[in-house]
């Protein structure tokens, strides 16, 4: 599998001082490396034979991180259907390089990951005075684990290190209450969004339909904005979020049974040349700002327990809070499998996180057994 040798010309010129080389096969091609002393060359040869044996059929395990990342970005990232996913992977790999500074892929271990987590949790978050959320770091670890699995399959890493364990959210997550949702609907006539000129519906109807469909379907705001009329089936009461616009990377059907009349009304006012259900010609930040204005008009001001400098966005809901409301209010009304399908989760583990918070907010009386002496008596 590997051998040591001296170059004939160098041996003729230098005699016994000629350096020793190690030779092996990589993907059927002959490779060699200059080592120096014969004793050291034998040691490198034995290590190379171990690497070839572990690699299965001659793949080189010794790989620089920068070379592996370049290869990963060329071969794996283009397979991801979502541009946003590709961007997020690049962001995570940049953070890992900046904080952990890996040089060789095969030396990435649990200790390096522990140090990465410890440093990331102390770094500044998006808001002034805030630090990186533990959930953000957990998400980065999931991305790194997928990347390292690829390194194992390519025989650059013996095995994927175990992932560090640390605390999750220290506070409850928000969901839009029924009262606040109704208050939002009452002030939609104040919406001033600039709609496309060929759209005959008002801003009030546009917002009302968007919020109601978000509440009924539990769809992500990105999937709603990318929803097209060809993806709506009024006969069977469902819409489809396409794989390129959702995180699960496959098409999902979402029931609109409870809101079909609302969506049909918007369909009647659609522009013939507009294929989108919710045409929005501005950036996502503008949409979030408009949503915040509507809540402020409705008098919604939420408490914020975060240890950071508070901004106006701290005291209003985000679009994902409506999605969390769908899980909170529908848990127990439908099966867990139906809830997973409706929310478009590829894994039930994700649905379980929503179910966990839904359970915390369900107020059901505990019908404890009472002995006869404690039973209420009639009058």
Q: Report the phi/psi class of residue 27: left, alpha or beta, with left for phi > 0 and alpha for psi in -120 to 50.
A: left
Q: Which two tokens stand for residue 243?
A: 């794989």
What pLDDT digit, counting tens, does each position of 27-50 carry? 667 888 898 888 898 888 888 777
pTM flag (> 0.75):
no
Q: Which of 286, 285, 219 is nearest to 246 (CA)?
A: 219
Mean pLDDT, residues 187-205: 80
Average confidence score pLDDT of the chain: 86
Mean pLDDT, residues 134-149: 92
The pLDDT value recorded for residue 379 is 46
What pLDDT digit, counting tens, does each position of 150-161 carry? 999 888 888 899
93 vs 244, higher pLDDT: 93
375 vs 287, higher pLDDT: 287
Domain spans in the chain, listed from the N-terminal domain onward: 2-55, 65-153, 178-360
Angstrom CA distances, 223 to 83, 178, 244, 255, 343, stand at 14, 23, 9, 14, 11
Residue 231 — very low, low, confident or very high, per pLDDT cuts 50/70/90?
very high
Q: Which of 339, 354, 328, 342 is nearest to 239 (CA)?
A: 342
The pLDDT value recorded for residue 16 is 85
Q: Which CATH number applies to 178-360: 1.10.443.10, 1.10.10.10, 1.10.1740.10, 2.40.50.100? A: 1.10.443.10
What pLDDT digit, counting tens, does each position of 314-356 carry? 899 999 999 999 999 998 889 999 999 898 888 888 888 888 8
The pLDDT value recorded for residue 53 is 65
Whether 307 shows a pLDDT value over 70: the answer reads no
What pLDDT digit, counting tens, does each position of 173-190 carry? 789 999 999 999 999 999
């Amino acid at each position: 599998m590997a051998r040591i040798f001296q170059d004939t010309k160098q041996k003729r010129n230098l005699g016994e001082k000629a350096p020793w080389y190690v030779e092996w096969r990589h993907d059927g091609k002959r490779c060699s490396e200059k080592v120096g002393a014969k004793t050291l060359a034998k040691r490198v040869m034995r290590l190379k034979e171990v690497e070839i044996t572990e690699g299965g059929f001659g793949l080189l395990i010794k790989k620089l991180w920068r070379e592996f990342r370049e290869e990963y970005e060329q071969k794996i990232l283009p397979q991801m259907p979502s541009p946003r996913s590709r961007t997020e992977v690049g962001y995570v790999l940049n953070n890992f390089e900046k904080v952990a500074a890996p040089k060789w892929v095969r030396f990435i271990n649990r200790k390096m990951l522990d140090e990465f987590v410890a440093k990331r949790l102390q770094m500044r978050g998006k808001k002034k005075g805030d630090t990186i959320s533990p959930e953000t770091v957990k998400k980065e670890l999931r991305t790194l684990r997928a990347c390292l699995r690829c390194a194992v399959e390519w025989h650059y890493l013996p095995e994927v290190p175990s992932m560090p364990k640390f605390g999750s959210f220290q506070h409850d997550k928000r969901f839009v209450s029924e009262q606040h949702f109704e208050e939002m609907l009452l002030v939609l006539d104040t919406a001033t969004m600039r709609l496309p000129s060929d759209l005959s519906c008002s801003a009030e109807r546009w917002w009302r339909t968007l919020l109601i469909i978000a509440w009924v379907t539990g769809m992500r705001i990105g999937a709603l904005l990318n929803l097209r009329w060809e993806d709506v089936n009024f006969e069977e009461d469902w819409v489809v979020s396409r794989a390129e616009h959702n995180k699960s990377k496959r098409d999902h059907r979402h029931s609109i049974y409870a809101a079909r009349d609302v969506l049909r009304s918007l369909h009647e006012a659609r522009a013939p040349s507009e294929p989108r259900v919710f045409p929005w010609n501005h950036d996502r930040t503008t949409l979030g700002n408009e949503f915040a204005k509507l809540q402020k008009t409705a008098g919604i001001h939420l408490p914020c327990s975060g240890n950071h400098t508070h901004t106006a966005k701290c005291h209003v809901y985000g679009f994902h809070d409506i999605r969390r409301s769908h899980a909170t209010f529908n848990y127990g009304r439908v099966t867990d499998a139906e809830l997973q399908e409706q929310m478009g989760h590829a894994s039930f583990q994700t649905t379980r996180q929503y179910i966990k918070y839904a359970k915390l907010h369900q107020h059901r009386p505990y019908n404890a057994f009472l002995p006869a002496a404690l039973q209420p008596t009639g009058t």
